[in-house]
């Protein structure tokens, strides 16, 4: 298994640039690059190892605090870190004014990362052109990760899901127990870095709806989430990082150490922040306008995106196996059947498949909407509870054919025999051959004559391939005993994203979708309900056919 992605977890930053983003990792490069000295390129990532203090950027109410994790004489004492975070969370940090080492600043600055990339690149350029702005941005970029301390509370896990992703609704009044995190929290995500999020489900959250409907645990509680920036790696890599941290906390490896020195004396200027960054009037106006537009972007996302946390007790891997179905392929089929029921049609479906057995392998696409799945979903949708055993057996055979086809295709994808990576490679090759690049001037030249170029373009840009790669259902199975839910966002308008995992006794999924009045049936709650119904019907069918009803 290729472990290269693990070298890009800590210290990663996505830097907006005109035309294309850049991936930078402020951490030690992999062994193969260390001989080059200070850094180098590795899988499109430029390494700039941090020398000296390592830090974490803390976001609270739109302000940024850069807190040192290490000092000149070793790690920052854990009690001092706890004291520092408590002060930041309580809103008392920074009361003493700006300090020479401060890198916090403009309230709402994180909203810039919600802008379209070209707009954010322009605003960033205006910021870093001046010393204060560069110091502030560098402090965030060079941190190991971003810690988001959210304000307010969510009424249930479904609201918390959206809050984790977006940080809060700018239109919210901030009332505790409201539908979302409060408006100030909208500025509490830095989308260009990995974010550890500390949020809370309201103490008075109603749980009468039950866990399968997204209800919160009785009494409410704090939740810790991880919002990962996808550029340097995939979900499994991030999950291993989360598991390692969670295990260290559980077994005492990360037990508190050091003296209980006062945070103010130990960390000094890290707890101070200026109320503004000294920028020339023109640059300040540009940044202020960009922050306002970033706030509008978050507000639009909150308006257009729905989310739902689904927990199906008694529908875990044990139940699927007892029904005679492989768990992952079985739930993938249930999603096809549920999508057909909710929307009236089947949709191009993406399931993430790890190709880590190859050097620098990322993912391939397992296409869930196969011909076998389509035929079985239509037969399954038309099957009534009162159908004869013979009819149920016929539908069951179709379901078995669909899940077998899914498993076989999954195995081929893991072996590099999928479809979409090859199509992507052909498309990139066509772009290189039709758009000359300076780095291609040396060595043998490759070209296409006009007829070849026209034929290749017609094939790769055909409506069929474009439609087949517009993922109306984007899914990924990634989770563990250390996580409560896993999210996987939508990637197309009028599309849905489903992150899920299947434990022995339960199935957990998060569904997110973009609203589209012209495309009914794509609300996250509606889709989740359709999935839940399909799972229940599928397991009941398996038990009936196998004599276990």
Structure tokens at 471: 């993922």
Instruction: Note whether 503 and 317 are within 8 A (CB).
Output: yes
Strands (DSSP E) contained in 270-324 are 305-313
Distance CA 385, CA 200 (A): 42
Burial of 375 (0-12, 13-18, 19+ CB in 10 A): middle
Residues contacting 150, CB < 8 A, separation 6+: 163, 167, 168, 181, 185, 188, 197, 198, 199, 200
332 alpha-carbon distance from chain centroid: 20
For residue 291, what are the CA distances in angstroms to 115, 119, 144, 343, 371?
A: 9, 11, 24, 37, 47
Q: Which residues contact 247 (CB under 8 A, 6 or more apart)?
A: 253, 482
Residue 15: burial class (beta carbons within 10 Å; 0-12, 13-18, 19+): middle
In the sheet with 473-477, reading across from the earlier edge strand, the strands are 305-313, 506-514, 496-502, 473-477, 349-354, 363-367
Instruction: Answer yes or no: 12 catalytic.
Output: no
Question: Which position among 222, 230, 360, 422 bears the catalytic label?
Answer: 230
354 has which bridge partners? 363
DSSP annotation of 171 reads: T
Q: What share of the chain is helix, strand, coil (3-state, %, to 5)?
A: 45, 15, 40
Backbone angles phi, psi at 199, to 5 degrees: -125, 180
CA 359 → CA 2, 22, 413, distances in Å?
Answer: 5, 21, 15
Task: Confirm if 105 and 273 have CB atoms less than 8 A apart.
Answer: yes
Indicate the SS3 state at residue 344: coil
Catalytic residues: 230
């Amino acid at each position: 298994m290729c472990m290269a992605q693990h070298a890009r977890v800590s210290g990663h930053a996505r830097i907006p640039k005109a035309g294309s983003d850049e991936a930078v990792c402020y951490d030690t490069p992999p062994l193969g690059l260390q001989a080059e000295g200070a850094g180098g390129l590795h899988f499109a990532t430029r390494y700039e190892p941090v020398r000296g203090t390592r830090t974490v950027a803390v976001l609270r109410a739109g302000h940024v605090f850069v807190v040192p994790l290490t000092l000149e004489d070793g790690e920052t004492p854990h009690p001092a870190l706890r004291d520092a975070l408590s002060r930041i969370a309580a809103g008392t940090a920074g009361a003493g004014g700006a300090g020479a080492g401060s890198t916090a600043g403009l309230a709402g600055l994180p909203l810039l990362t919600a802008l379209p990339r070209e707009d954010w690149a322009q605003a960033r350029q205006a910021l870093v052109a001046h010393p204060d702005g560069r110091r502030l941005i560098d402090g965030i970029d060079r941190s190991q990760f971003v810690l988001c301390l959210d304000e307010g509370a969510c009424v249930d896990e479904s609201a918390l899901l959206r809050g984790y992703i977006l940080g809060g609704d700018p239109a919210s009044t901030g009332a505790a127990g409201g539908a979302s995190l409060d408006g100030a929290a909208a500025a509490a995500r830095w989308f260009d870095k990995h974010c550890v999020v500390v949020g809370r489900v309201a103490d008075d959250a109603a749980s009468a709806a039950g866990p399968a409907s997204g209800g919160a645990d009785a009494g409410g509680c704090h939740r810790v989430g991880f919002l990962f920036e996808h550029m340097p790696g995939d979900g499994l890599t991030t999950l291993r990082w989360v598991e390692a941290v969670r295990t260290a906390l559980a077994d005492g490896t990360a037990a508190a150490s050091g003296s209980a020195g006062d945070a103010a004396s130990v960390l000094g200027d890290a707890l101070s922040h200026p109320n503004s960054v000294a920028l020339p009037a023109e640059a300040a106006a540009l940044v202020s306008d960009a922050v306002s537009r970033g706030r509008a972007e978050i507000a639009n996302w909150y308006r257009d995106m729905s989310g739902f946390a689904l927990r199906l007790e008694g529908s875990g891997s044990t139940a699927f196996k007892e029904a005679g179905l492989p768990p992952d392929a079985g739930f993938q089929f249930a999603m096809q059947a549920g999508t057909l029921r909710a929307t009236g049609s089947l949709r191009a479906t993406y399931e993430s498949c790890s190709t880590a057995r190859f050097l620098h392998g990322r993912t391939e696409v397992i296409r869930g909407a196969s011909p076998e799945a389509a035929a079985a979903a239509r037969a399954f949708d038309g099957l009534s509870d009162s159908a004869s055993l013979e009819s149920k057996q016929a539908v069951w055979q179709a379901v078995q054919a669909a899940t077998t086809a899914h498993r076989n295709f999954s195995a081929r994808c893991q072996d590099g025999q999928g479809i979409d990576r090859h199509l992507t490679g052909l498309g990139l090759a066509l772009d290189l051959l039709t758009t000359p690049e300076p780095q291609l001037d040396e060595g043998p030249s490759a070209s296409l004559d006009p007829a070849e170029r026209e034929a290749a373009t017609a094939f790769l840009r055909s409506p069929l391939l474009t439609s087949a790669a517009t993922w109306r259902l984007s899914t990924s199975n990634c989770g563990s005993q250390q996580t409560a839910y896993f999210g996987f966002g939508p990637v197309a308008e009028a599309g849905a994203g489903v992150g899920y995992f299947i434990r022995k006794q339960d199935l957990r999924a998060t569904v997110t979708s973009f609203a589209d009045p012209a495309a009914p049936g794509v609300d996250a709650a509606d889709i989740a309900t359709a999935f839940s119904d399909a799972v229940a019907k599928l397991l009941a069918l398996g038990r009936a056919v196998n004599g276990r009803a």
